[in-house]
């Protein structure tokens, strides 16, 4: 050991565009200060037997700013699971924490920067409680962490979904079809809401606003009455069916269900009720791949540099966050297990309603702009994510 300050960094959980930009931000800003950097491989798994890491420097982080994925690898499965669902804490095995502590000591790590979503940050919190010097960086395409206005990855996912809607628009119009686009987001409707607005969607179905087939059909017919013979429906994977059920791919791991399949369900039912040709597109992991947008590059770079600052200042147990216009920090404990979901009264929802976009909660001719606030106030919004009954497809 040469006595230099040494920073460890890892990426954990599902990947998203911008992870490499954070890693590069950490490495470059550390190098400016003369610090060493070590990248642990495959998320938290790299911290314990068999410990796997690589020295990070200018040379091996050059050119990664615009690269999707993570050069360090990641996993959202395995030994490090500190939550079940969105709120229940699972204590990590104490021998696992012993192993992490030993690695940090043996490698003389002065600060460990953990880049991850809610579940990964819950692990970081347990490291902090053990006295391991840890700092968090929030990541998720879902934008569902309440402590930060935006997480990097979200803007890139929205850009991908918007591009898909642009493409679906022309083919839907050519064939007079209803097109249903299913997007990710888990129990939050942010991706669907933003992409639906940016991509000119006609109907947006999100987990936060209960909807009915009658109202969606009414919107389709209302459009036809105004000469529009096609309709674009954007549905969030976590939107509940009118009966309150979630559509999942499997329910083998309680609390950790894989969402997906609602797009096809909605399309089938619309076709059955309206006798209009209907097609579905499921965007899936395309939303997670590819280069980050410029917004995400800037945000991720700032998160990387400010995470190093937190280490220098000894602010362990804190997580970087974006509170426009400030890059700030909060205790990790205050950031985890608190989902940010779409408030039906939010300006974006009201603007969408003003344009005539349907959320499936009202007949198409009953949502004028001036009524938006009143309408939204009357909505019965689910009290928390994941309360609905899962249904496997």
Could you tell me the smallest distance in angstroms from the CB atom of residue 141 to ligand F6P? 5
Q: Which is nearer to ligand F6P, 133 or 261 (CB)?
A: 261
Structure tokens at 317: 């147990």
- CA atoms of 232 and 252, how far apart (whole Å): 33
Size of the site for ligand F6P (CB under 6 A): 13
Contacts of ligand F6P in 109-148 (CB under 6 A): 117, 140-142
- CA atoms of 383 and 322, how far apart (whole Å): 25
- CA atoms of 257 and 251, how far apart (whole Å): 5
Binding of residue 185 to ligand F6P (CB under 6 A): yes
DSSP H helical segments within 141-212, as ranges?
154-175, 190-198
- Pattern 282-321, ligand F6P, x by CB under 6 A: ------x---------------------------------
Q: Which candidate, 251, 367, 305, places its Cα nearest to that of 23? A: 305
Which residues, 6+ apart, have CB-to-CB distance to 350 below 8 Å? 369, 372, 373, 376
Cross-strand pairs, 247:
391
Could you tell me the smallest distance in angstroms from the CB atom of residue 131 to ligand F6P? 29
311, 110 contact by CB (below 8 A): yes
Binding of residue 207 to ligand F6P (CB under 6 A): no
Q: Which is nearer to ligand F6P, 141 or 300 (CB)?
A: 141
Binding of residue 57 to ligand F6P (CB under 6 A): no
Binding of residue 18 to ligand F6P (CB under 6 A): no
Please confirm whether the linkage preceding 325 is cis (ω < 30° from 0). yes
Q: Which is nearer to ligand F6P, 123 or 372 (CB)?
A: 123
- If you write DSSP's letter for every residue of 250-284 in order, what string do you get? E-SSTT--EE--HHHHHHHHHHHHH---EEEEE-G
Name the residue with tokens 């929205």: 158
188: region left, alpha or beta (phi > 0 left; psi from -120 to 50 alpha)? beta
Could you tell me the smallest distance in angstroms from the CB atom of residue 142 to ligand F6P? 5
Structure tokens at 176: 């007079």
Could you tell me the smallest distance in angstroms from the CB atom of residue 229 to ligand F6P? 32
Q: Which is nearer to ligand F6P, 144 or 361 (CB)?
A: 144
Residue 142 a catalytic site member: yes
Contacts of ligand F6P in 251-280 (CB under 6 A): 258-259
Q: Which is nearer to ligand F6P, 9 or 259 (CB)?
A: 259
Q: Which of 15, 36, 142, 144 is catalytic?
A: 142
Binding of residue 68 to ligand F6P (CB under 6 A): no
Binding of residue 186 to ligand F6P (CB under 6 A): yes
What letter would DSSP give residue 293? P
Binding of residue 14 to ligand F6P (CB under 6 A): yes
Q: Which is nearer to ligand F6P, 86 or 217 (CB)?
A: 86
The piece of 124-132, 181-189, 352-360, 369-377 that touches ligand F6P (CB under 6 A) is: 181-189
Which residues, 6+ apart, have CB-to-CB distance to 346 below 8 Å? none
Give catalytic residue positions: 142
Binding site for ligand F6P (CB under 6 A): 14, 76, 117, 140-142, 184-186, 237, 258-259, 288
């Amino acid at each position: 050991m040469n006595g230099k300050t040494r920073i460890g960094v890892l990426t954990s959980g599902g990947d998203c565009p911008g992870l490499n930009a954070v890693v590069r931000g950490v490495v470059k800003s550390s190098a400016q200060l003369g610090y060493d950097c070590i990248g642990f491989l495959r998320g938290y798994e790299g911290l314990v037997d068999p410990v796997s890491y690589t020295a990070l420097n200018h040379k091996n982080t050059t050119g990664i700013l615009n690269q999707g994925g993570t050069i360090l690898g990641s996993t959202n499965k395995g030994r490090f699971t500190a939550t079940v669902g969105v709120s229940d804490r699972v204590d990590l095995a104490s021998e696992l924490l012993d192993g992490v502590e030993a690695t940090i000591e043996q490698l003389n790590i002065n600060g460990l920067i953990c880049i991850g979503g809610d579940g990964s940050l819950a692990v970081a919190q347990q490291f902090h409680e053990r006295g391991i010097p840890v700092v968090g960086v929030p990541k998720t395409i879902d934008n569902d962490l309440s402590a930060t206005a935006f997480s990097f990855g979200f803007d890139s996912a929205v850009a991908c979904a918007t591009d898909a809607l642009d493409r679906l628009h022309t083919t839907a119009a050519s064939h007079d079809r209803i097109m249903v686009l299913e997007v990710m987001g888990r129990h939050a409707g942010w991706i669907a809401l933003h992409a639906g607005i940016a991509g000119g969607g006609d109907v947006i179905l999100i987990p936060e606003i209960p909807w009915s087939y009658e109202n969606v059909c009414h919107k389709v017919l209302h459009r036809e009455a105004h000469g529009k013979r096609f309709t674009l429906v954007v549905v969030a994977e976590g939107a509940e069916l009118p009966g309150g059920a979630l559509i999942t791919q499997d329910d083998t791991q309680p609390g950790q269900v894989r969402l997906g399949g609602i797009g096809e369900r909605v399309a089938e039912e619309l076709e059955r009720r309206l006798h209009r040709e209907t097609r579905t597109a499921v965007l899936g992991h395309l939303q997670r791949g590819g280069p980050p947008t410029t917004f995400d590059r800037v945000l991720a770079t700032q998160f990387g540099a400010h995470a190093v600052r937190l280490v220098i200042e000894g602010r362990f147990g804190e997580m970087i966050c974006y509170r426009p216009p400030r890059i700030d920090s909060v205790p990790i404990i205050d950031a985890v297990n608190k989902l940010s979901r779409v408030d039906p009264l939010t300006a974006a929802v009201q603007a969408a309603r003003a344009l005539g976009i349907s959320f499936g909660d009202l007949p198409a001719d009953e949502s004028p702009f001036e009524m938006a606030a009143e309408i939204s106030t009357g909505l019965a919004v689910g009290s928390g994510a994941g309360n609905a009954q899962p249904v496997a497809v």
